[in-house]
């Protein structure tokens, strides 16, 4: 995974302009809220709201959003199914039996538990995907430094390192090819991992040298891009609280 590209349409959309800190807090708040319920309906509501707001308020293409959610979505199905099949309540004689798969008794409690868990993983995937597809990494780091008061040396250092993520894949490919063309077998030989580590450290050293040569960390910094709180941030925050409260109190049936 390299730095995500957010489109111009997304950058100028309401969610794109919302402070990344607000989005981060909303995402965490929603996920913590979901931890207090085993009811399958609140996570479904959060998934629907997250996808809808990503498309409508964030102008993210629906296909791109779904492609991003898909891998974790499949994991959600796997986790849910595993918990349905191997739930402890399946062994409980007094529990209501819902179905029987050969020797395996499936109880309604197991289905509810597995469904709740799978849907919560799906909710995490959806909220995470909307966050990453509507958040420019530079804006995120600016907001972390200016609004969340994260130390700048750490924030901008992390951003610079993040730019280098695609390099690791190229390093790995080249090291493996270098072994092969010299007649050595084994594309997961431990030496390759040593090589990767050395290359990562050396790249980090060079980057740090270039940053220090440009006076990074030499004194108080000024700011080229100013991040300020805006009414939009409050609107998104309040809206998110309402969504969570409503989701948790959805009427039964």
Partner 1 sequence: MVGPSGSGKSTLALAIAGLVPREIPGTISGSLRLDAAEIRSIDPPALASRVGIVFQDPASQLVMERVADDVAFGLENRGWPRERMVARVPESLAEVGLAGLELHRSTRLSGGQQQRLALAGVLAPQPRVLVLDEPTANLDPAGAAAFFARLAGLRASRSATIVLVEHRVDAAWPLADQVLALNGDGSPIDAGSPAEVLDRSRARMVEAGIWMPDEPARGRRRRLQTLGDTLVEAAGVGFGYDRRSPVVNDVDLALAAGERVALVGPNGSGKSTLGRLLVGLLAPQRGRVLMRGDDPSRLPAAELARRAGYVFQEPERQFLADRVADEVALGLRPDELALVADLMDRLRLPLETFGDRSPYRLSGGEQRRLSLACVLVRRPALLVLDEPTFGQDRLGHEALIAILDERLVSGTCVVAATHDERFVADVADRVIVVDRGRIVSDGPWQAAG
Interface ranges with partner 1 (CB under 8 A): 3, 5, 136-138, 156, 159-160, 163-164, 166-167, 170-171, 174-175, 177-185, 191-192, 195, 198-199, 202-203, 206-226
Handedness of CA 27, 142, 203, 179 (dihedral sign): positive
Nearer to partner 1, 108 or 173 (CB): 173
* Least separation in angstroms between CB 178 and partner 1: 4
Nearer to partner 1, 210 or 235 (CB): 210
> What one-character-per-residue DSSP string does 158-201 give?
HHHHHHTHHHHHHHHHHHHHHHHHTT---TT-HHHHHHHHHHHH
Nearer to partner 1, 78 or 169 (CB): 169
* Least separation in angstroms between CB 124 and partner 1: 26
Q: How far apart are the C-alpha atoms of 41 and 4, rounded to whole Å?
A: 31
Residues 121/40, Cβ–Cβ less than 8 Å: no
Q: How far apart are the C-alpha atoms of 57 and 204, rounded to whole Å?
A: 37
* Least separation in angstroms between CB 51 and partner 1: 25
* Least separation in angstroms between CB 99 and partner 1: 42
């Amino acid at each position: 995974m390299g730095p995500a590209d957010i489109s111009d349409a997304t950058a100028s959309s309401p969610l794109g302009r919302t402070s990344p800190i607000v989005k981060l807090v909303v995402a965490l708040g929603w996920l913590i809220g979901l931890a207090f319920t085993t009811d399958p309906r609140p996570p479904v509501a959060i998934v629907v709201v997250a996808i809808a707001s990503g498309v409508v308020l964030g102008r993210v293409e629906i296909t791109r959003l779904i492609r991003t959610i898909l891998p974790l979505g499949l994991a959600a199905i796997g986790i849910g199914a595993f918990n349905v099949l191997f739930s402890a309540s399946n062994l409980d004689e007094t529990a209501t039996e819902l179905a029987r798969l050969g020797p395996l008794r499936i109880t309604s409690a197991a289905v509810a538990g597995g469904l709740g868990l799978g849907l919560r993983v799906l909710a995490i995937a959806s909220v995470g995907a909307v966050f990453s597809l509507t958040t420019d990494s530079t804006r995120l780091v600016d907001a972390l430094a200016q609004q969340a008061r994260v130390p700048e040396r750490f924030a901008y250092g992390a951003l610079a390192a993040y730019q280098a993520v695609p390099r690791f894949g190229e390093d790995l490919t080249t090291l493996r090819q270098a072994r092969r063309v010299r007649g050595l077998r084994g594309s997961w030989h431990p030496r390759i991992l040593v090589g990767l580590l050395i290359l990562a450290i050396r790249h980090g050293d060079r980057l740090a040298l270039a940053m220090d040569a440009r006076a990074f960390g030499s004194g108080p910094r000024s700011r080229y891009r100013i991040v300020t709180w805006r009414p939009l941030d409050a609107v998104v925050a309040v809206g998110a609280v309402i969504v969570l409260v409503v989701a948790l109190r959805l009427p039964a049936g």
